[in-house]
Structure 1
Amino acid sequence: MKKLYIASLGCVKNLIDSEVMLGKLKNEYEITLNPNEADLIIVNTCGFINLAKEESIDTILELANEKKENAKLVVTGCLSERYKDILPKEIPEVDIWSGVGDFNRIDEIIKSNSKKVFSNKVFLIHNEDRVITGSSYHAYIKLSEGCNQKCSFCAIPSFKGKLQSREIEEIINEIKRLKDKGYKDFSLASQDSSSYLRDKGIRDGLERLIDEIDKIDDINVRILYLYPATTTKRLIRKIFSSKNVVNYFDIPIQHITPKMLKIMKRPGSVNKLKELLNEMKREDSFVRTSIIVGHPGESHEDFEELMKFLEEYNFDRINVFAYSDEEGTNAYKRKDKLPDAIIEARVKEVEKVVEKTTQKALKKYLNKEIECFFDGLTEDGLFYSVRPKLWEREIDGDILINDSEIQNLKVGNIYKVKVNELAGNQLIGKIIG
């Protein structure tokens, strides 16, 4: 068989699309981790913010330089879609350019030898076969594509289009198919999960989906990317009462002052946002958020208010993004942009708060017994790695195991872990059952 090297950059939604491409090519190519020996190289790019764009460009150029003679370099995804009129001229080393509409046609595109293939639609997975990567028991499930929100800083709707949701039955069937293959831990992903099915006039789509998920036995499910304006207390209560969906709340707030939320075009009041967050915060829940620091119009007082709120609420995890000036967005047109030096200084300040809140969140686990998925040996071979059922794969960390009362441990199995120590930001424990 010929060999394929794929670089999937950006979010897990991109990863799902990459897995669709692998599914289309699996009969003709085997995956290699060495780009030098690949007959086909695919880069699924991210075009969200400047750092992601730079990573994508660097990856394309590096792989163009590394590919062997007669190998094909295919670039697809968000960055190539966003800059489809520019990049093919700027990087002639790429053999085929494609966007976000044809992941399920990647085999046809490669055989066509067309230099550029850009559709007028955005691809949404339906019943395509995927090759799941990175785990033998965990898989991501895409709920929808596109977004109806109009956040001032975000360019995604300009190249991903409006919200389009998958049918509930289709999602349930995919989970069941993957369960039959041994997958038991799932993360549901989209640009705006709490708006799921609103494009079809259904306001409680996510609640209906949870009801159907609860009819499946022996699975563990997390929901990613709740949008504050479309998240309700009823949805939160539905998650808490679910048999299979764990109490995991990933809700990017971006900011906390009325002025900044208005500038950012984030609908809903601060009071409602705080009420939702308080509804989520329980002893047995996990709340993650994301914030943007240095958005145009952010005063020192706005920033201080944000810092104060982050300290008081004590999120379990916080993603901090420095404002990225993206053409085509409302924020890009504003005249009250902050100097880079101020943005960088504020990011450093807020990161100190994040360090404290993360430490506090981790200390909650000390001397507790918790159920965890077993992930095998760490890369250095010195510890075993486990992940609490509540935590999201890769982004929330792990617990290192230096002792076990159980023999013949198996990846993907759930074990009871006693957490004994916190070293820096790393929990250490023992498998006890």
Structure 2
Amino acid sequence: MSKKLHIVSLGCTKNLVDTEVMLGRLRSYEMTDTPEEADVIIVNTCGFIDAAKEESLNTVLSLHEARREDSVLVMAGCLSERYKEELQKELPEVDIFTGVGDYDRIDELIAKKQTMFTPHVFLVNEEHERVVTGSTAHAYVKLAEGCNQTCSFCAIPGFKGKLHSRTLKSVVKEVERLVKRGFYDFSFISQDSSSYLRDLGVTDGLIELIDAIETIEGIKSARILYLYPSTTSEALIHRIAASPVFQNYFDMPIQHISPRILKTMKRGIGAEKIRGLLEAMRAVPGSFVRTSVIVGFPTETKEEFKELCDFVEDFGFDRVNVFEYSDEEGTDAYELTPKIDPETIHERAERLGEIVRKTTEASLQKMVGKSCETIVTGPSEEHEYLLSARPLLWAPEIDGEVLVNDSEIEGVEYDKLYRVEVTERAGLQLVGRIVGHA
């Protein structure tokens, strides 16, 4: 009888890829959604900000409460790496601790019931057998680990290290292997994707990536996530716009627009250059522009917060993630004063969130009456009689879905491409009908 595995992947999609590598090493286990049945339970944690750290700890403790006495509980990933000494002392509930360096050895650690923290960060390559989760059409492909930026609010370089890019040859081989398995839609990810290959002496590595990926037969769609403003060039924007494979999808976290705050955040780029890059992205026909911002950064004045709100409203992003500032020890911002009190930070986040809701609704409204290529991903969680479809222009999980309530085609298959006509918008939700094969 095979042993059973329950695994939880928290945080970003980069974590998800590492979780898929662990699944590849543990193929002999039978997956279970019920932790009480599992012989082994793994939590791949996130340690980025307070909310993520709290979620990770709560998940570990709740799974410990639910598990069988003879099972093995493993705590892996960023939070485990960042606080390895403290957590080993304070969490006797955990049987095995490991960080961000040993995902490809997880089977060995479990067999030996061994805690290990290899001093280097694991970087997936084409030799690692991943079990891609959630889709038979779409896969994430990790380009690099670590980051050379010095943002004053970010703790990631402290436990992920400097930029370490995969070779272009390695990425191409992995994509070719995934295409042979039937995947045709790809999202390329890293902490700072627009710096890809800079550590290997290539200034605009993403342009070389696009050139190479376009030659692979069988790819129908791709996008790049996590562009960093100071390493994103207009040449890259133009190359994406010209690509027959890569979507006109621009995901560039700006974090703020106040010149003083940007300087204090150590973003390495000024407000005017950010505005110029965003305008170049918006000028691309059919572009989709996503960003992230932080509210309540230490010393942020009411006027600077208003400047951010006005910019977000005026530009009209398609999607915006609003983060409340998290004071992270070990970062430069941790020493900055005065701090903004938590209540004010939350109020600012809610105020900006209302603006973002309106800009998102405006973006969605533009799609009503139009048709788009979509992947029908399965039944919608909204209702058993509705299907969920993701426009190819959008990134999985973060940009939403189109609810399909009608079809001119019988026998609709999941993870296949169809053309969907958007018929209406209800708040932040689009509704449409399948009108043909894409």
Aligned counterparts of 1:152 and 1:307: Cα–Cα separation in 2: 22
Amino acid at match of 2:257: I
Deviations 1:297-330 (A, max 9, x none): 1111100000000011100000000000000001
Name the counterpart of 1:279.
Answer: 280
Q: How much has 1:412 moved relative to structure 2? A: 1.6
Name the counterpart of 2:150.
Answer: 150
Name the counterpart of 1:57.
Answer: 57
Name the counterpart of 1:432.
Answer: 435
Aligned counterparts of 2:158 and 2:79: Cα–Cα separation in 1: 12
SS in 2 for 1:148: coil
- Size of the alignment, in residue pairs? 431
Extract unaligned runs of 5+ from structure 1: none
Amino acid at match of 2:124: I
Q: Equivalences for 1:217-236 in 2 at 5 Å?
A: 217-219=217-219, 220-236=221-237
From 293, 296, 314, give the equivalent of 1:294.
Answer: 296
SS in 1 for 2:404: strand
Name the counterpart of 1:267.
Answer: 268
Q: Is 2:20–2:133's contact at 8 Å kept on the other side of the alignment?
A: yes
Name the counterpart of 1:11.
Answer: 12
Name the counterpart of 2:359.
Answer: 357
Aligned counterparts of 2:323 and 2:44: Cα–Cα separation in 1: 22
Aligned counterparts of 2:416 and 2:20: Cα–Cα separation in 1: 24
SS in 2 for 1:429: strand
From 418, 428, 433, give the equivalent of 1:415.
Answer: 418
Q: How much has 1:217 moved relative to structure 2? A: 2.6
Say yes or no: does 1:135 pair with 2:135. Answer: yes
Amino acid at match of 1:413: K
SS in 2 for 1:85: helix
From 310, 313, 328, give the equivalent of 1:311.
Answer: 313
Aligned counterparts of 2:93 and 2:346: Cα–Cα separation in 1: 35
Aligned counterparts of 1:113 and 1:272: Cα–Cα separation in 2: 52
Name the counterpart of 2:205.
Answer: 205
Deviations 1:27-83 (A, max 9, x none): x21111111100000010000000000000000000111111211001110000000
Q: Is 2:41–2:71's contact at 8 Å kept on the other side of the alignment?
A: yes
Name the counterpart of 1:405.
Answer: 408
SS in 2 for 1:319: strand
Aligned counterparts of 2:347 and 2:380: Cα–Cα separation in 1: 35
Extract unaligned runs of 5+ from structure 2: none
Say yes or no: does 1:251 pair with 2:252. Answer: yes
Say yes or no: does 1:395 pair with 2:394. Answer: no
Name the counterpart of 1:78.
Answer: 78
Aligned counterparts of 1:130 and 1:113: Cα–Cα separation in 2: 23
Name the counterpart of 1:22.
Answer: 23
Deviations 1:308-365 (A, max 9, x none): 0001110000000000000000110112111111111111110110011001000110
Q: Is 2:179–2:218's contact at 8 Å kept on the other side of the alignment?
A: no
- Runs of 4+ deviating beyond 3 Å: none
Name the counterpart of 1:118.
Answer: 117
Aligned counterparts of 1:229 and 1:138: Cα–Cα separation in 2: 29
Aligned counterparts of 2:242 and 2:405: Cα–Cα separation in 1: 34
Aligned counterparts of 1:52 and 1:113: Cα–Cα separation in 2: 26
Q: How much has 1:204 moved relative to structure 2? A: 1.2
Q: How much has 1:12 moved relative to structure 2? A: 0.4
TM-score by length of 2: 0.97
Aligned counterparts of 1:375 and 1:342: Cα–Cα separation in 2: 40
SS in 1 for 2:85: coil
Deviations 1:239-258 (A, max 9, x none): 01112111100000000011
Aligned counterparts of 2:310 and 2:380: Cα–Cα separation in 1: 37
Amino acid at match of 2:85: D
Q: Is 1:263–1:297's contact at 8 Å kept on the other side of the alignment?
A: no
Aligned counterparts of 1:424 and 1:269: Cα–Cα separation in 2: 35
Q: Is 1:187–1:222's contact at 8 Å kept on the other side of the alignment?
A: yes
Amino acid at match of 2:366: K
Quick one: percent identity of the two aligned structures? 54
Aligned counterparts of 1:280 and 1:425: Cα–Cα separation in 2: 23
TM-score by length of 1: 0.98
Aligned counterparts of 2:104 and 2:40: Cα–Cα separation in 1: 17
Q: Is 2:194–2:227's contact at 8 Å kept on the other side of the alignment?
A: yes
Name the counterpart of 1:99.
Answer: 99
Amino acid at match of 2:86: I
Amino acid at match of 1:78: C
Aligned counterparts of 1:217 and 1:258: Cα–Cα separation in 2: 45
